[in-house]
Structure 1
Amino acid sequence: MATLFLIILSAFLVSLISFIGIFTLSLNEKILKKLLFYFVALAVGGLMGDAFLHLLPEATEEFGNGNAFVFALAGFFLFLMVEKIIHWRHCHESDCKVHTFVYMNLIGDAIHNFIDGIIIAVSFAISFKIGVASTIAIILHEIPQEVGDFGVLMHGGFGRKKALLFNFLTAITSVLGGIFGFYLLFLVEPLSKYLLAFAAGGFLYIAATDLIPEIQKENNIKKSSLNYAVIFLGIIAMYLLKFLEV
């Protein structure tokens, strides 16, 4: 049950990131944008580093052949389809009400966080080291995302307290996902290698399609170089976790 405790604790820590929005209210908009840009770059390094240095190597070892990459590719396209379904929640009609968009956004975020919880469960089921690496990668990704989600809720007419509460309620689904993932693997243990490869593909999808395009919008050479350095820093952090012995 120690593994289940670690899963719940890690998923809960991830859900606490939802409160980060409150700290952004006192920041200058220019400073906030700059900080978020660096967090996005760090998330790219964290997600790609975790996928290539932890998840894929472990999945390949579990499979014993190249099938891990097939399921990683399947995970990439699964995340593509999930994101497409979630994006259908957006209103494109001129008379669409803002509050409708806000509640659909909350549903989409709840699904996303539930999946994060499953990934955490799968990672800790393999090893403590991979569990820590995946949790850190998810946290790095969640920081800029939760700031954006908080902004959407405020724009949709939610007060500060209500926005924080609802943002946290959608984030806490990561704990439910973690518990679900743990018992799913308990019942069907061979699923771990498939879910591990799927998670790697999902992380690569998020980094390649959601985050890197944001970084590429920067045209200033000096700022771009700094962003790439931050990405490299995230990768180095994931590499150093390979030497974590527990």
Structure 2
Amino acid sequence: MDDTFWTALTTSILAALVTSIGIFTIRRFADWGHRNTTYFICFAAGVLISASFLHIIPKSFSMNPDAPVWLLVGFMGLHLFNRFLTAFVCEKNPARKDYVIGVIPMLGIGFHTFIDGFIYSISFSVSIFTGYLATVGMVLHEFPEGIITYLLLVRGGVAPKVAVMLAFLAAAATTPLGMLVSYPLVNNIDQQALGALLSLSAGALVYVGATHLLPRAEQEQKKFSLVALAGGVLVAVVIVASKA
């Protein structure tokens, strides 16, 4: 294996480690996390929606002329899966009626972090400097991503120990997995294919933020929820600026 492979793998593992630290930090301070879940939901909505509109969607549109179609597929695909989960899991088992608030965001975030692994492979294959620039932007959002995934799973009724495992698999392990899967194929992944994948993930993230997180936050009407939402938007702006 060449130096590029090991550098890309190391940085993707670093991203997974940062996410894991976020998961285990919020697990350690569970009571505080539960009291402030609404603020984390608002923060997550701000990050996911803003990052999608400010960076992921424009980038994918510039790479693939069919990206709007994939954006719609990502959005509607997750909506249909939500309907399936609600009809065949939640309605048949009332004890699991809130599972969608955790499972759907977990799937959206998991797919997105898997695509992040592709970006590590591709950016480091372009140049080491390009790879490090991409790393700065992506690692910035890993810590809160782990926290958000865990909290939403617990909020949806998943047992804390199971939520830790699922959050780790979805938000952390998928990044190095995506890097390992994509690296042997990196020379065959053209801009249009990556653009389609990015647009698909953006559609999923917009769906999670706009239809799951924001409505739930609005129901509870916490005093500083708008401040938390603005904080998420600001973090997304910082991430986008660091990648510029």
TM superposition score normalised by structure 2: 0.70
Cα shift readout 1:49-105 (whole Å, capped 9, x = no counterpart): 110111112112223x5x3323212211122234445556736546x999xxx9xxx
Equivalent-residue separation in structure 2 for 1:237 and 1:244 (angstroms): 11
Task: Go from structure 1 to structure 2 and tell me whether the alpha carbon gap of 1:211 and 1:185 turns closer, same or farther (over 3 Å shift).
Answer: farther
Range that drifts further, 235-244 or 39-48: 235-244
Q: 1:10 is matched with which residue: 6, 15, 28?
A: 15
RMSD over equivalenced CA pairs, Å: 3.9
Query: Which residues of structure 2 form unaligned runs of 5+?
Result: 124-129
2:234 maps to what in 1?
236
2:126 maps to what in 1?
none
Q: Does 1:217 align with 2:219?
A: yes
SS at match of 1:90: helix
Contact 1:110 1:173 in 2 (8 A): no
Task: Kindly provide the amino acid, as one letter, of the partner of residue 149 in structure 2.
Answer: Q
- 1:19 Cα deviation (Å)? 2.4
Contact 1:22 1:164 in 2 (8 A): no
After the TM superposition, which residues 29-68 of structure 1 pair with which residues of structure 2 at under 5 Å, given as runs?
31-63=32-64, 65=65, 67-68=66-67
Cα shift readout 1:185-238 (whole Å, capped 9, x = no counterpart): 444334111111111111101101110111110346xx1xx3122212221222
Contact 1:46 1:136 in 2 (8 A): no
- 1:133 Cα deviation (Å)? 4.3
1:202 maps to what in 2?
204
Task: Kindly provide the amino acid, as one letter, of the partner of residue 117 in structure 2.
Answer: A
SS at match of 1:211: helix
Range that drifts further, 77-86 or 130-139: 130-139
Q: Does 1:117 align with 2:149?
A: no
Task: Kindly provide the amino acid, as one letter, of the partner of residue 89 in structure 2.
Answer: H
Task: Go from structure 1 to structure 2 and tell me whether the alpha carbon gap of 1:51 and 1:108 turns closer, same or farther (over 3 Å shift).
Answer: closer
Equivalent-residue separation in structure 2 for 1:240 and 1:107 (angstroms): 28
Task: Kindly provide the amino acid, as one letter, of the partner of residue 151 in structure 2.
Answer: V
Query: Which residues of structure 1 form unaligned runs of 5+?
Result: 155-159
- 1:24 Cα deviation (Å)? 3.6
Equivalent-residue separation in structure 1 for 2:84 and 2:142 (angstroms): 21
Cα shift readout 1:16-44 (whole Å, capped 9, x = no counterpart): 4442453244x2xxx54442111111111
Contact 2:48 2:205 in 1 (8 A): yes
Task: Go from structure 1 to structure 2 and tell me whether the alpha carbon gap of 1:198 and 1:113 turns closer, same or farther (over 3 Å shift).
Answer: closer
TM superposition score normalised by structure 1: 0.69
Task: Kindly provide the amino acid, as one letter, of the partner of residue 120 in structure 1.
Answer: D
Task: Go from structure 1 to structure 2 and tell me whether the alpha carbon gap of 1:24 and 1:134 turns closer, same or farther (over 3 Å shift).
Answer: same
Equivalent-residue separation in structure 2 for 1:58 and 1:192 (angstroms): 10
2:144 maps to what in 1?
140
SS at match of 2:201: helix
Cα shift readout 1:117-158 (whole Å, capped 9, x = no counterpart): 32212444366556654554565344233135357454xxxx
Task: Kindly provide the amino acid, as one letter, of the partner of residue 179 in structure 1.
Answer: L
Contact 1:62 1:193 in 2 (8 A): yes
After the TM superposition, which residues 180-199 of structure 1 pair with which residues of structure 2 at under 5 Å, given as runs?
180-190=181-191, 191-199=193-201
The share of aligned pairs that are identical, in percent, is 18
Contact 1:54 1:130 in 2 (8 A): no
Task: Go from structure 1 to structure 2 and tell me whether the alpha carbon gap of 1:38 and 1:74 turns closer, same or farther (over 3 Å shift).
Answer: same
Task: Kindly provide the amino acid, as one letter, of the partner of residue 11 in structure 2.
Answer: L
Task: Kindly provide the amino acid, as one letter, of the partner of residue 202 in structure 2.
Answer: A
Task: Go from structure 1 to structure 2 and tell me whether the alpha carbon gap of 1:242 and 1:173 turns closer, same or farther (over 3 Å shift).
Answer: closer
